[in-house]
Structure 1
């Protein structure tokens, strides 16, 4: 049973909301803030491009592995305490990653990914429980906060690493500010010990939904969206540096891309609500992402335009894919089953992307092949989106 304390009733929701937004800042910046420094990390550690791709992939593998565990933790310890524990794990992962050795770099990255996975699963249920009439607006605020934090981490990465006497380890450690701030604000919530919402507390596994063509179309759309997004998030600074941009400028452009992913959260919700189906929108965001990738490939001198366009298109595609999970299902348990299927398979597919892109770079000496493959993936996204966007339910 959910317990609502006087603190929460008499104004504690403001503190709760602040804590939620600070958690949002902590679950993306530690990942995206490292991408601009992959070149520095490779130089100091001697790892290959493929190994650097694995570094980008580790959080995605943790997402796929830890998502089912998060619901169990929420049931056993309560959402508030589990989220506090998730922030501690994220902070520990950042600290370990920043100590220097290659083994710590990889282990710390996987550790912070596990903490992020727990927060990813539990936060939506917390929003549904405590702000049931404001989910759309708070999801938008959540996306904007996360985008701002990602942009800040990306823009500051290289300048922090190039400070006198500094290094990439110091720059990576600077992202500790996000989980530590969230931890301090979240402490009052430890008085609560509530369990996740019903549909999260008992996630269905397998079953008829795995035999539904529509479920596979939604899963494929989300999976390809994640694949393209994480390849570009991980390697965009390297792509820009090879195109002639200074490392600091590449980091700033990476930040622009991350900030642009938050913009669709402001406009997509009302737009989707007015549509009979979403086929045209799914095709449009896929084509937008494709144009941005082709622009980066063929006309990198206009990188500011292409990275902003990519961030908007990929961000819109991801939000639309998550919306499909609700729109294409008949009830909450079915939605939970589809969400589990789409996240497990989608993140598993996305995890293969950055290492393969790194291998392609090592084999060809450039990013053309990786960008071309990503563009082809967006065409497949458009095809799957034209099916997943139909006004139908599983």
Structure 2
């Protein structure tokens, strides 16, 4: 690849303000869930207005996850070709466009915009951990926790205001589905100064090279051929199943149990809001343990308790959803931190990130669809919650392996 303005990583790091990089990173992170969590609280309205079945609605929610699985292995190649900052910029442009398209009248726009949102977030998801590994190599847990907290804050806001905003105008549910395009535009504006100073590097200097070579020509082991790589991937996928099942179906599960729509929407705010507590708490604890096994086992165990609580005592759903939020926030911080903690170089971190998000989100996408289909087949949410419990028990075991203080090689 031709090099324009050949700049070494150290010289470029001095040229860019770490504060500017961090602010841009946090704003990008704020876009990663808001466009997804805003759907759950108004999903019943979408189903009613468009005549969607539960399975079709769950496919709609899972479509971004399918896009994550398809696009994640391609994202490192895009970043290698255009540079890390421009990969983020293109992702934000695509996200803003998808959010606007999704809110337009017409079923085709809803599906097409949702798919574009998934493609854009997939790029952002893969590139951000590599950026953290490159620019903050000694603060992976803390920085990952910070951007996960910001991610959770905007996810909580998006879920919490969706129903009230939908009732503010004749646009109904289309308004909350489209309004988060503004946040993507703001993030792009903050990122713009970095775009003007971008460097196109050779594959050897590449920030997210999928060939995993260091600057001295050393070849790094591929996570696809590593048991640890697959353990991290399993952790990513299984924790994502739990999160997206609750984001998609928790309001419907609670409504069926007699909880009012307004209260169910408030519980979505709890789910995402307490995720902030889990994210910050986990990022604080990661560097204080010799390894992450205990954290990676406790988090899914809490979700087992929460899912069982919803099943047997739905009148306490506010408590269970808050507990789920804490566990979910901790789980996503662990999953994202593993990309850096379980690798030796930022190029290898990007390869593991791409692998885990490709396979993990393919698995995660099946979760809401399967739960919706199981509900349609049985007429009850109890079997679906039982499946979630079993998966989280398995995740306790997976967390014990992925949390060991080892690297892919």
The gaps in structure 1 that reach 5 residues or longer are none
Partner residue, 2:386:
372
**How many Å separate the matches in 2 of 1:76 and 1:11?**
20
Q: Distance in 1 between matches of 2:406 and 2:190?
A: 42
Mapped pair 1:20 → 2:25:
yes
Residues 203, 98 of structure 1: alpha-carbon distance in 2 compared, 3 angstrom cutoff: farther
Q: How does 1:298-337 map to 2 (within 5 A)?
A: 298-329=312-343, 334-337=348-351
**Whole-Å Cα distance in 2 between the matches of residues 2 and 254 of structure 1?**
46
Structure 2 counterpart SS, 1:68: coil
Q: 1:194 to 1:234 in 2, by over 3 A?
A: farther
Return 32-41 or 198-207, whichever deviates more: 198-207
C-alpha change, 1:335 and 1:201, in structure 2 (3 Å) is closer
Aligned residue number for residue 127 of structure 2: 122
Distance 2:21 2:236 in 1: 30
SS at match of 1:193: coil
> Is 1:202 aligned to 2:210, yes or no?
yes
Q: Structure 1 residues 197-206 or 307-316, which shifts more?
A: 197-206
Check 1:99–1:228 CA distance in 2 against 1; reply closer, same or farther (3 A cut). same
Q: Any residues of structure 2 matched to 1:123-142 within 5 Å, and which?
A: 123-142=128-147
Residues 1:382 and 2:396 aligned together: yes
How far 1:18 moved relative to its partner? 2.7
Q: CA deviation at 1:335?
A: 4.3
> CA contact under 8 A between 1:158 and 1:247: conserved in structure 2?
no
**Residue 226 (structure 1) shift:** 1.2
Cα deviation, 1:252-309, whole Å, max 9, x if unaligned, reads 2112111222223323234233333433332211211100111111111111111111
Which of residues 359, 369, 373 in structure 2 aligns to 1:359?
373
Q: What stretches of structure 2 of length at least 5 have no aligned partner?
A: 1-5, 213-218
CA RMSD of aligned residues (A): 2.8
| Aligned with 2:87 (options 82, 85, 107) | 82
Cα distance change, pair 354–213 in 1 and its aligned pair in 2 (3 A): same
Select the residue among 185, 192, 210 that pairs with 2:190.
Answer: 185
Q: Tell me the SS of whatever aligns to 2:124.
A: helix
Deviations 1:92-151 (A, max 9, x none): 111111112222111110101111111112223333444445444332221221111111
Size of the aligned set, in residue pairs, is 394
Give, in angstroms, the shift of residue 359 of structure 1. Answer: 0.7
Question: What is the alpha-carbon distance in structure 2 between the residues aligned to residue 356 and residue 321 of structure 1?
Answer: 23
Alignment of 1:1-394 (within 5 A): 1-2=6-7, 12-194=17-199, 198=206, 200-203=208-211, 209-329=223-343, 334-394=348-408
Taking the aligned partners of 1:241 and 1:344, their CA distance within structure 2 comes to 33
Rate the CA distance shift 1:71–1:159 in 2: closer, same or farther, 3 A: same
